[in-house]
């Protein structure tokens, strides 16, 4: 029987997600609906539904948007070809790409310009990976695992690696160790690409695993960083489940668990944590405490078109 809930800290929204969601909300406030968004602005179904109710229209491709309309590019970033299509269609663009993803794009352009072949450590099909590879498709080789790193063939010449920002810290380090062993001269980014929020949330989960019997991770199925939190717990022998909200909790998971840990991915709003806690409270679990209090003070400015101090500016 569950007696106690421990909350991981930090959890939930990161600065890049907050910036992206605020960007769509500000665009709707300034110009009214419809505001188009290419792909999900962040990988959370609740956030997407809330914005749809306010008048945001989510599309898979910029080519689906009427010429001249306003479009927001998601936090995951887009390839240069997307920007070119937007110009061709005369779309009014607002780029909500997380600045830490933009950093990886800049690295890719820099290395490609200098004649490097890059290994991109990431997951095939993820929007962030697609956007990064689009910066230098002829110079980037995708590697998804330590096993692939053992067999990847790279051309002669200068080599470097870059990574997706939302990966497992431990598994990425394993991939990098293989690459460095096989290609001793491979260059690393000046600063690691896995973002602070991904690293902090994984570290917070690791710290609490010895004190819990089960971990619930609040986040959507397509959220890379949320899935990594589940994997971190399971790798340490603690059962963990990914849930979109309290409705997905299976009471059978709780059998034999006295202390349940709760965390949330970087795209999950705190109100979903509150709903999960209310679900437990309805079942008599009222002992809720933070395992550790760690605050993040990272802040990213909104895109210039939607900053409150410049409400008259139109997107472009």
Report the C-alpha gap between 62 and 72 in whole angstroms. 10
Read off the pLDDT of residues 197-226 as tens digits, 9 standing for 90 and up: 999 999 999 999 999 999 999 999 999 999
- Whole-number pLDDT of residue 14: 97
Report the C-alpha gap between 260 and 281 in whole angstroms. 13
137: which 2 tokens?
Answer: 């498709």
Read off the pLDDT of residues 49-98 as tens digits, 9 standing for 90 and up: 999 999 999 999 999 999 999 999 999 999 999 999 999 999 999 999 99
User: Can you name the CATH fold of 15-98+300-306?
Assistant: Rossmann fold (3.40.50)
In contact, 56 and 21? CB cutoff 8 Å? no
187: which 2 tokens?
Answer: 């260059």
- Whole-number pLDDT of residue 257: 97
Tell me the whole-structure pTM to 2 decimals. 0.94
Q: What is the CATH number of domain 100-182?
A: 3.40.1010.20
Q: Do 15-98+300-306 and 100-182 fold alike per CATH? A: no
Read off the pLDDT of residues 270-315 as tens digits, 9 standing for 90 and up: 999 999 999 999 999 999 999 987 889 999 999 999 997 655 555 6
- Whole-number pLDDT of residue 293: 79
Read off the pLDDT of residues 130-171 as tens digits, 9 standing for 90 and up: 999 999 999 999 999 999 999 999 999 999 999 999 999 999
CATH architecture of 4-13+196-290: 3-Layer(aba) Sandwich (3.40)
Q: Domain spans of the chain?
A: 4-13+196-290, 15-98+300-306, 100-182
Residues with a catalytic annotation lie at 128
Report cis status (omega within 30 of 0) of the bond before 34. yes
- Whole-number pLDDT of residue 292: 84
Q: What is the mean pLDDT of residues 172-195?
A: 97
């Amino acid at each position: 029987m569950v007696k106690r809930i421990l909350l991981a800290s930090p959890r939930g929204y990161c600065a890049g997600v907050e910036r992206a969601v605020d960007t769509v909300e500000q665009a709707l406030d300034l110009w009214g609906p419809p505001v188009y968004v290419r792909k999900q602005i962040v990988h959370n179904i609740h956030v997407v539904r809330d914005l749809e109710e306010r008048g945001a229209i989510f599309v898979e491709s910029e080519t689906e948007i009427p010429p001249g309309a306003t479009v927001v590019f998601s936090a995951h970033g887009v390839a240069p070809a997307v920007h070119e299509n937007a110009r061709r269609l005369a779309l009014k663009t607002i780029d909500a790409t997380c600045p830490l993803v933009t950093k990886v794009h800049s690295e890719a352009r820099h290395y490609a310009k200098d004649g490097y072949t890059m290994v991109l450590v990431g997951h095939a099909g993820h929007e962030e990976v697609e956007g990064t590879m689009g910066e230098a498709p002829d110079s980037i080789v995708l590697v998804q695992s330590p096993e692939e790193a053992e067999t990847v063939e790279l051309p002669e010449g200068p080599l470097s690696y870059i990574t997706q920002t939302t990966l497992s810290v431990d598994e990425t380090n394993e991939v990098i160790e293989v690459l460095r062993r096989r290609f001793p001269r491979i260059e690393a980014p000046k600063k690691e690409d896995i973002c602070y929020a991904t690293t902090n949330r994984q570290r917070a989960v690791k710290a609490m695993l010895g004190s819990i019997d089960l971990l619930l991770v609040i986040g959507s199925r397509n959220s890379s960083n949320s899935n990594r939190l589940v994997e971190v717990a399971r790798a340490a022998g603690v059962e963990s489940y990914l849930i979109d909200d309290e409705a997905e909790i299976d009471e059978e998971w709780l059998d034999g668990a006295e202390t349940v840990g709760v965390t949330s991915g970087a795209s999950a709003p705190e109100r979903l944590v509150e709903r999960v806690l209310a679900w437990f409270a309805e079942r008599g679990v009222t002992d809720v405490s933070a395992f550790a209090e760690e605050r993040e003070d990272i802040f990213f400015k909104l895109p210039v078109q939607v900053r409150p101090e410049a409400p008259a500016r139109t997107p472009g």
